[in-house]
A and B are shown apart, each in its own frame.
Chain A
Amino acid sequence: EAQVTQNPRYLITVTGKKLTVTCSQNMNHEYMSWYRQDPGLGLRQIYYSMNVEVTDKGDVPEGYKVSRKEKRNFPLILESPSPNQTSLYFCASSPYLDRVMGYTFGSGTRLTVV
């Protein structure tokens, strides 16, 4: 089944403790992206990647890092999480040259930073 898999689904952590949210897709998509969803703000893009070793900032990159060493994986790293990073996070992927296919989204990761 074609899908984007995020882990974990739920995470509670403490301020300052480094964490990684994993994202993997099995569709050979070039383009991958991370979003956060907050009430009243909709989806805001954190980082995106057009292909292996190519990443760029989205609208709200502060406090986050990403890497794209393999085509299928696009982990989101919070080096020193803070309470304002409490949010619902989504990973998404799409073919780069055929963006009219739209995104395939993961099921989300609900992160709470205390």
Chain B
Amino acid sequence: GNSVTQMEGPVTLSEEAFLTINCTYTATGYPSLFWYVQYPGEGLQLLLKATKADDKGSNKGFEATYRKETTSFHLEKGSVQVSDSAVYFCALSDRDTGNQFYFGTGTSLTVIP
């Protein structure tokens, strides 16, 4: 079946530190991969996506590369800011299972000044 596993949180970093949030997936077909961000008190927003192997999604300084060989889609940012404090969700959509979405459990990030 399909599933998404992401690293446990919470993660606490100092401002300007390097961020990595690991995400691996299991899929029966050839999925599209997503990162969503949830700021405090808000709904989820699409942060970035990749639809085929070796694609790199990027937005707001965040990047993630679709690695089919390792079934991974790790989120990275070179220098985090306090405003990046949020919960991050990795997700996949698989056409072979009717384009259903599958979410990871979320990773909470707190950036301190």
CB proximity of B108 to chain A, nearest CB, Å = 10
Which residues on the B side are within 8 Å of A106 (C-beta)?
43
CB proximity of A37 to chain B, nearest CB, Å = 8
CB proximity of B33 to chain A, nearest CB, Å = 10
B→A interface (CB under 8 Å): 32, 34, 36, 42-46, 49, 51, 89, 93, 95, 98-101, 103-106
Q: Evaluate contact between B99 and A102: CB separation under 8 angstroms.
A: no
Q: Evaluate contact between A107 and B49: CB separation under 8 angstroms.
A: no
Q: Evaluate contact between B103 and A42: CB separation under 8 angstroms.
A: yes
Which residues on the B side are within 8 Å of A43 (C-beta)?
44, 89, 103, 106
* A42-B99 contact in complex given A99-B93, A100-B51, A105-B45, C-beta closer than 8 Å: no
Which residues on the B side are within 8 Å of A74 (C-beta)?
none
CB proximity of A44 to chain B, nearest CB, Å = 8
Q: Evaluate contact between A90 and B44: CB separation under 8 angstroms.
A: yes
Q: Evaluate contact between A41 and B105: CB separation under 8 angstroms.
A: yes
Instruction: With a 10 A CB-CB cut-off, give which of A40, A96, A100, A108 has the most chain B CB atoms.
Output: A100
CA distance A4 to B44 in the complex (A): 11
Give chain A's interface secondary structure class. strand
8 contacts between A and B (CB under 8 A): A43-B103, A48-B100, A90-B43, A99-B99, A102-B34, A102-B36, A103-B44, A103-B46
CA distance A33 to B98 in the complex (A): 13
Residue total for A at the interface (Cβ-Cβ under 8 A): 23
* Residues A92-114 near B (CB distance < 8 A): 92, 96, 99-100, 102-108
Q: Which 10 residue pairs across A and B have the least CB separation, nearest first? A: A42-B105, A105-B43, A99-B99, A43-B103, A102-B46, A105-B44, A100-B32, A107-B43, A99-B93, A100-B51
Q: Evaluate contact between A108 and B43: CB separation under 8 angstroms.
A: yes
Which residues on the A side are within 8 Å of B44 (C-beta)?
43, 90, 92, 103, 105
For residue A34, CB closer than 8 A to chain B, the reply is no
For residue A31, CB closer than 8 A to chain B, the reply is yes
* A107-B42 contact in complex given A42-B104, A96-B99, C-beta closer than 8 Å: yes
CA distance A102 to B99 in the complex (A): 10
